[in-house]
Amino acid sequence: MQIGLIGLGKMGGGMVRRLQEAGHRVFGVDLGADARRAAEEHGATTFEDVGSMIAALPAPRVVWIMLPAGRITREAIAGLAGQLTEGDLVVDGGNSDFRDAPGHAQTLGAAGVGFADVGVSGGQWGWQAGYGMMVGASDEHFELLEPALQALAAPDGYSLVGGVGAGHLVKAIHNGVQYGVLQAYAEGFALLSAHEEVDRLAAMSAWQGGSSIRGWLLGQMVTALRESPDLDGALTAVADSGMGRWTAEEAIRLAVPTPVLAAALHARFASRSDGAANKLLTASRAQIGGQKS
């Protein structure tokens, strides 16, 4: 494939590496010279503006957006609607609100441009192990994207989960579940810490080694403990990206009980309730406000 990628940061930059290594050709856009330079080192062709990238891409064009959720992504999609042509496809791979997807599809559809939303999980390590990819699209657009998905995803790590909007819905619920899992690990760690005779690193290493609660997130906690047994410097205030809130709102709308997910989200709120966390709380509110505006 020849694919345009808007946003070459941690996630986008990792995606460039996997796509290029699989034999695809990436045309990337980023305002940051360092991000462009890093992408070029992995074989991508980069541009400072979207118009130049679109002119270089052969039709039908596939343009994948990896930008912060909210206003920035919405403006990028609106801009593409005026620059792309019939038969092109826009993919939103950021952590966007799933409720925005129908509007994006309608805006792009008026110009004959397709839209797909892909929830992407794997973080900054995804370029090594592969990403988990939850695709909301038509069958036709999924088939068009599949060569790129195969290059990007971990083994068995991508699926068509439904039509437009389903990809980001599934990713939002994924993040809500992640909040609950992390909160459970944190509470277990706190209880272990209340017993001075217990070696917390040894205990959690044993859990990760073969117990029924082993997992990637627990592995990251074990790594952090090895580097700092007392977790010196770890922040006590925990932000949320907005996806946990959207999950809670959807659960309320549908009257589906999700007490663990809601409690984990509220625990994050509580972690930011003291004066020392005011700056982080303000930044979080500003972020969520930008996503919802």
Q: Please list the active-site residues.
A: 171
Q: What is the distance between the alpha carbons of residues 226 and 166, in angstroms, rounded to a whole number? A: 38
Q: Tell me if the bond preceding 60 is cis, omega within 30° of 0.
A: yes
Distance (Å, whole) CA 81 – CA 258: 38
Distance CA 36, CA 44 (A): 9
Cβ 7 vs Cβ 67: under 8 Å: yes
Question: Is the distance from CB of 172 to CB of 248 less than 8 angstroms?
Answer: no
Backbone angles phi, psi at 194, to 5 degrees: -75, -10
Measured CA to CA in angstroms, residue 233 lies from 219, 227, 265 at distances of 19, 11, 23
For tokens 């073969």, name the residue: 210
Handedness of CA 228, 229, 231, 233 (dihedral sign): negative
Alpha-carbon separation of residue 136 from 23, 52, 114, 176 (angstroms): 25, 28, 12, 19
Element (H, E) at 15: helix 10-21
